[in-house]
């Protein structure tokens, strides 16, 4: 470079520059040149989500757009129920990891594997799209139902999900009650030695949605389900049994002949172990730890970018936040990278709004060390919506995760997973309640 060019380059570097950010899309609240209509807020969710969730929400919008402009708020509630088959609600989406470098990078974690928390977000978005498909009708005059995630009954990882193969996520409604429905989803990914069409299922998830009247907020009836194949009928029966099982668990026990879940002997024995560690630590088992010593906590101010199609904080985002805290809790507890096994239960008790002060608290509830090749660590995460102005705090969500560790880690010299014990009666009851629930529910969805 000659002296004149060097001087020119030096001068240009001394000047301030402004780099423009090009808008990627116009405002949905203003009429676009090609359309006289404006999209409603529900069709403009936050933009802090995965590309798969975004694609699923766009697909859901095409179903909802028939209602835009929407009917009057005084429009009638849906009157006629339709009987649909599971196949009519089925939705699938493909992750093109092998051909889409950017997509692959968005799902890559620190160990060059797939981010499970991102997958959980997508499962919630897929379940919502399936629920909308099942509940849609052809009546343009009635107001739409409000469909919300009530719970996650199970997310079970059967084999690890990799980024070197494409995967397909799909699901359908498998059971309906009066105002609720169960949605089963699967992830399939090719494996070596398995021919196309015979890919093993990598993950199975069961979500439960409920329908509410969009004006009154009361429970609203949903379209009925008519299973056609033997597999669909079997899944319908399983969904019905699970619903009955959950209802029985919520009922107060009136039969004294029924043995309580938290019998006095188990509670007393568990609490006695914990009190030795709490009150006489020098004499306690060195391989034990109190539950409260495993706890972690983080806080989050909910932002507009994290909202869903209804303007509230996306349930999938909450699941990812809880999963990542549970993962960190287990990581600190065992001292090596944990491996996700399953979500045992998630309850969405109260909605979370933009601007809410959200506090996540996690702890190890119990460990199972009976199988040395696959020790299990149960983690509880509780989310609290805290409102400093009104001096209130209430539980919005509860999450239960199970992790294990790589068998290679156990072979390391001095490696050990400690037993966790309760220090209070409340903690002891919580451990027994969760242990029994985890093991009772395993046989229902398999």
The Cα diameter of the chain in Å comes to: 98
pLDDT of residue 198: 56
Phi-psi region of 94 (alpha: psi -120 to 50; beta: other; left: phi over 0): beta
Nearest to 49 by CA among 58, 37, 40, 62: 58
Q: pLDDT in tens for each of the 446 residues of the chain?
A: 566 656 655 555 556 666 665 555 555 444 444 444 444 444 456 566 778 888 887 777 766 655 545 545 556 666 688 899 999 999 999 999 999 999 999 999 999 999 999 999 999 999 999 999 998 876 666 777 888 999 999 999 999 999 999 999 999 999 999 999 999 999 999 876 555 555 689 999 999 999 998 778 889 999 999 999 999 999 999 999 888 877 776 655 444 444 554 478 889 999 998 989 988 988 888 889 999 999 999 999 999 888 887 788 999 999 999 999 999 999 999 999 999 999 989 999 999 999 999 999 999 999 998 887 889 999 999 999 998 888 999 999 999 999 999 877 776 777 889 999 999 999 999 999 999 888 875 444 55
pLDDT, residue 103, reads: 92
Are 120 and 287 a contacting pair, CB within 8 Å?
A: no
The tokens of 444 are what? 């229902």
State the Cα–Cα distance between residues 310 and 313, nearest whole angstrom. Answer: 9
Distance CA 190, CA 12 (A): 54
Q: Record the tokens describing residue 226, joined without a space.
A: 């008519």
- Can you give the pLDDT at residue 17? 63
The burial of 356, by beta-carbon neighbours within 10 Å (0-12 exposed, 13-18 middle, 19 or more buried), is given as: buried
Residues 6+ apart with CB under 8 A from 26: 32
pLDDT of residue 264: 85
Rounded to whole angstroms, the Cα distance separating 109 from 118 reads: 10
Q: Sign of dihedral through CA atoms 316, 322, 328, 329?
A: negative
Burial of 175 (0-12, 13-18, 19+ CB in 10 A): buried
pLDDT (0 to 100) of residue 136: 83
Strand-pair category, 357-368 with 338-348: unpaired
> Do 43 and 69 meet the contact criterion of CB atoms below 8 Å apart?
no
- Global pTM reads 0.85
Reference 289, options 339, 332, 328, 325; nearest CA is 332
The pLDDT of residue 376: 95
**Contact criterion met (CB below 8 Å) for 165 and 107:** no
pLDDT confidence of residue 298: 95
Pick from 355, 359, 376, 379: which is nearest to 367 by CA? 376
CA distance 89 to 135: 9
Measured at the CA of 215, the angle between CA 209 and CA 218, to 5 degrees, comes to 50
- pLDDT at position 422 is 95
Measured between alpha carbons, how far is 419 from 277 in angstroms, rounded to an integer?
Answer: 11
Strands 83-84 and 167-176: unpaired
């Amino acid at each position: 470079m000659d002296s004149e060019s060097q001087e020119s380059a030096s001068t240009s570097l001394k000047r301030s520059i402004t780099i423009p950010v090009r808008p990627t899309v116009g405002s949905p609240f203003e009429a676009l040149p090609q359309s006289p209509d404006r999209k409603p807020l529900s069709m403009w969710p936050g933009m802090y989500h995965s590309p798969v969730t975004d694609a699923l929400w766009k697909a859901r919008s095409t179903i909802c757009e028939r209602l835009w402009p929407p009917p009057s708020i005084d429009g009638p509630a849906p009157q006629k129920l339709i009987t649909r088959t599971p196949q009519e609600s089925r939705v699938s989406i493909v992750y093109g990891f092998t051909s889409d470098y950017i997509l692959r990078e968005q799902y890559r974690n620190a160990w060059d594997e797939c981010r499970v928390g991102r997958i959980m977000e997508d499962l919630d978005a897929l379940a919502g799209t399936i629920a909308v498909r099942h509940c849609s009708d052809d009546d343009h005059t009635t107001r739409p139902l409000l469909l919300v995630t009530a719970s996650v009954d199970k997310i079970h990882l059967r084999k690890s999900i990799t980024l070197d193969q494409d995967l397909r996520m799909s699901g359908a409604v498998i059971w309906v009650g009066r105002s609720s429905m169960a949605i089963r989803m699967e992830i399939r990914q090719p494996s070596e030695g398995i021919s196309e069409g015979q890919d093993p299922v990598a993950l199975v998830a069961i979500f439960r949605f409920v329908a509410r009247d969009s004006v009154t907020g009361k429970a609203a009836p949903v379209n009925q389900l008519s299973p056609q194949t033997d597999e669909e009928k079997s899944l319908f029966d399983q969904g019905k049994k699970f619903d009955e099982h959950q209802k029985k668990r919520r009922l107060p026990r009136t039969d004294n002949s029924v043995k309580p879940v938290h019998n006095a002997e188990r509670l007393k024995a568990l609490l006695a172990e914990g009190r030795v560690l709490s009150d006489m630590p020098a004499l306690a088992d060195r391989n034990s730890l109190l539950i409260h010593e495993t706890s972690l906590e983080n806080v989050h101010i909910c932002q507009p970018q994290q909202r869903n199609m209804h303007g509230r904080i996306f349930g999938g985002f909450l699941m990812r936040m809880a999963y990542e805290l549970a993962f960190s809790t287990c990581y600190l507890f065992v001292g090596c990278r944990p491996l996700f096994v399953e979500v045992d239960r998630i309850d969405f008790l109260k909605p979370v709004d933009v601007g809410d002060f959200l506090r996540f608290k996690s702890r190890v509830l119990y460990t199972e060390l009976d199988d040395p090749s696959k020790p299990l660590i149960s983690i509880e995460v509780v989310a609290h919506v805290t409102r400093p102005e009104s001096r209130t705090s209430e539980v919005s969500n509860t999450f239960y995760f199970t992790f294990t560790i790589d068998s290679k880690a156990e072979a390391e010299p001095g490696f050990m997973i400690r037993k966790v014990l309760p220090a209070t009666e409340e903690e002891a009851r919580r451990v027994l309640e969760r242990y029994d629930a985890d093991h009772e529910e395993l046989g229902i969805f398999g």
